């Protein structure tokens, strides 16, 4: 028999090389055949953190929630520990997040967490090493078919030192028949997560005043809308007569974010036709009296029959809309303009008719509300014929 020494040497060299390569590629823990699936890692905000941040915030203290299911072939195999190894790579080399990615000195760290699945009630998380926490069970657990859930509390996310750098990382989940990742590695599986720069949005709310007047102002989707304001030319609903009180209305809407709210004033003459005038009621509110000269206004709903047709045939005013509530809405008619069926008007005098001071009178900012101004005119039998008009100017002044 001829022995080929050269061939034997080649074979020995190949075996030696295979042994070296095998030693190089073996991971810390040999993977088992069983694969945990489905499996996931959710990065959650940690409500107990000193500063609560989103789960994916780089360097943020968060909670890591793992959910995974044991394959059917191993659901009756008892386990005593579950390992969670944080890696920079998904393959067997794993890598060190702190060194290979120039992490801050904090890197990924964990504090003892909790196992929230009922089957893991006898298990506790031990953060014995920064990147390799272990769930150890005092009693062997048979996983069954239900998903298992483990939450690591107080995990410090990877924190890239380079600005605007996002980072993916991986966690290797392994189940073991003995505590501290001992005995047989039953099942395993990787999950992936990523830290990402938070989106910081900013916007500026300027000093604001919205104010408009018109015959009517309507709401759009429940909000007073000044784009709906109609013409400010309004007419009394009937001819003047000593036998009844004539009525007209207009509307205005106002809102402001001024810290001291707004004040609305009115200025204008009484009803005039040439040199003839209808006497203004005056600054003190009074009830209308048919057959006398009277011009006045108020900013509330008038509900009695003092004015001919009020509440039936003619619109004699409506309440402020939306109603003032002292929370978002603060519109408040001035006292002389706030009592139903009484009216006031001081001709050619700038007069405060409303503020955003509900209910105390201390003005504040307010959301938009609609006022209805109701005007009344009474005349004597000898009042000269003619077209009586007035132009009223409302001014809304906010104080910031």
How far CA 106 is from CA of 97, 110, 185, 361, in Å, comes to 10, 10, 30, 56
Q: How confident is the model at residue 223, as a pLDDT? A: 96
Q: Residue 19: pLDDT band by 50, 70, 90 thresholds? A: very low
Q: How confident is the model at residue 104, as a pLDDT? A: 42
Contact 150, 127 (CB under 8 A): no
Q: Which residue has the higher pLDDT, 285 or 310?
A: 285
Lowest mean pLDDT among 132-136, 171-175, 232-236: 132-136
The answer for residues whose C-beta is within 8 angstroms of residue 129's C-beta and 6 or more apart is: none
Lowest mean pLDDT among 47-51, 249-253, 291-295, 390-394: 47-51
d(CA 264, CA 248): 20
Contact 237, 249 (CB under 8 A): no
d(CA 188, CA 66): 13
Mean pLDDT, the chain, rounded, equals 86
The answer for residues whose C-beta is within 8 angstroms of residue 196's C-beta and 6 or more apart is: 56, 58, 166
Give the H/E segment covering residue 252: strand 246-256
Q: How confident is the model at residue 7, as a pLDDT? A: 47
How far CA 187 is from CA of 17, 37, 39, in Å, comes to 30, 10, 12
DSSP 314: B
Q: How confident is the model at residue 23, as a pLDDT? A: 33
Region 358-382: mean pLDDT is 96
Lookup: tokens for 65? 């929630």
Q: How confident is the model at residue 339, as a pLDDT? A: 94
Chain centroid, CA 284 distance in Å: 47
Q: How confident is the model at residue 311, as a pLDDT? A: 52
Q: What percent of the chain has pLDDT over 90?
A: 63
Neighbour-count burial for 364-378, b at 16+ CB within 10 Å, e otherwise? bbbbbbbbbbbbbbb
Return the number of other C-beta atoms located less than 10 Å from residue 139's C-beta: 9
Asked if the model's pLDDT at residue 4 lies above 80, the reply is no
**Would you say how long the chain is, in residues?**
400
The answer for residues whose C-beta is within 8 angstroms of residue 103's C-beta and 6 or more apart is: 97, 158, 159, 160, 161
Taken in order 19, 23, 27, 29, the sign of the CA dihedral is: positive
Asked if the model's pLDDT at residue 305 lies above 90, the reply is no
Contact 169, 86 (CB under 8 A): yes
250-280: per-residue pLDDT in tens? 999 999 999 999 999 999 999 999 999 999 9
Asked if the model's pLDDT at residue 328 lies above 70, the reply is yes
Chain centroid, CA 139 distance in Å: 45
Domains of the chain (ranges, CATH numbers) = 32-195 (2.60.40.10), 209-398 (no CATH)
57-111: per-residue pLDDT in tens? 988 888 999 999 999 999 999 999 999 998 888 888 888 776 544 444 444 555 6
d(CA 233, CA 244): 23
Query: What pTM was estimated for this model as a whole?
Result: 0.68
Contact 259, 364 (CB under 8 A): yes
Asked if the model's pLDDT at residue 28 lies above 70, the reply is no
Contact 72, 108 (CB under 8 A): no
Chain centroid, CA 140 distance in Å: 46
Give the H/E segment covering residue 264: strand 262-267
Q: How confident is the model at residue 272, as a pLDDT? A: 98
Region 383-395: mean pLDDT is 98
Q: Which long-range contacts (CB under 8 A, 24 or more apart) does 197-206 make?
A: 197/58, 197/164, 197/165, 197/166, 198/53, 198/54, 198/56, 198/57, 205/257
146-163: per-residue pLDDT in tens? 999 998 888 888 877 666
Secondary structure of residue 118 in the 3-state scheme: helix
Q: Residue 50: pLDDT band by 50, 70, 90 thresholds? A: confident
Closest C-alpha to 317, from 395, 377, 251:
251
Q: Residue 145: exposed, middle, or buried by beta-carbon count in 10 A (0-12, 13-18, 19+)?
A: exposed
């Amino acid at each position: 028999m001829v022995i080929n020494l050269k061939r034997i040497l080649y074979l020995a060299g190949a075996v030696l090389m295979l042994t070296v390569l095998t030693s190089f590629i073996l991971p810390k823990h040999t993977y088992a055949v069983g694969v945990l699936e489905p499996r996931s890692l959710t990065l959650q905000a940690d409500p107990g953190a000193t500063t609560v941040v989103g789960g994916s915030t780089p360097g943020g203290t968060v909670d890591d929630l793992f959910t995974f299911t044991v394959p059917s072939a191993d659901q009756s195999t008892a386990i005593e520990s579950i390992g969670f190894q944080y890696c920079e790579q998904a393959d067997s080399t794993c890598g060190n997040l702190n060194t290979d990615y120039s992490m801050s000195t904090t890197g990924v760290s964990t504090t003892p967490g909790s196992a929230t699945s009922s089957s893991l009630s006898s298990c506790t998380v031990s953060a014995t090493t920064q990147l390799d926490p272990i769930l150890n069970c005092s009693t062997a657990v048979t996983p069954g078919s239900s998903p298992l859930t483990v939450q690591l509390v107080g995990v410090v996310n990877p924190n890239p030192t380079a600005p605007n750098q996002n980072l993916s990382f991986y966690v290797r989940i392994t189940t073991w028949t003995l505590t501290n990742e001992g005995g047989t590695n039953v099942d395993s599986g990787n999950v992936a997560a990523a830290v990402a720069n938070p989106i910081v949005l900013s916007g500026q709310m300027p000093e604001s005043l919205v104010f408009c007047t018109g015959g009517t102002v309507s709401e759009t989707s429940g909000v007073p809308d000044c784009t709906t304001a109609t013409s400010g030319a309004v007419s009394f609903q009937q001819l003047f007569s000593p036998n009844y009180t004539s009525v007209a209305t207009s509307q205005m809407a106002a809102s402001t974010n001024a810290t001291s709210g707004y004040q609305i004033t009115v200025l204008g003459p009484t009803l005039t036709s040439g040199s003839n005038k209808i006497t203004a009621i005056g600054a003190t509110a009074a009830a209308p009296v048919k057959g006398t000269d009277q011009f006045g206004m108020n900013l509330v709903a008038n509900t009695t029959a003092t004015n001919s047709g009020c509440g039936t045939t003619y619109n004699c005013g409506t309440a402020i809309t939306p109603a003032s509530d002292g929370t978002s809405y603060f519109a408040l008619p001035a006292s002389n303009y706030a009592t139903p069926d009484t009216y006031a008007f001081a001709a050619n005098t700038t007069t405060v008719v409303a503020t955003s001071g509900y209910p105390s009178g201390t003005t504040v900012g307010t959301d938009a509300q609609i006022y209805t101004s109701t005007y009344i005119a009474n005349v004597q039998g000898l009042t000269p014929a003619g077209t009586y008009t007035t132009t009223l100017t409302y001014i809304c002044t906010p104080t910031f």
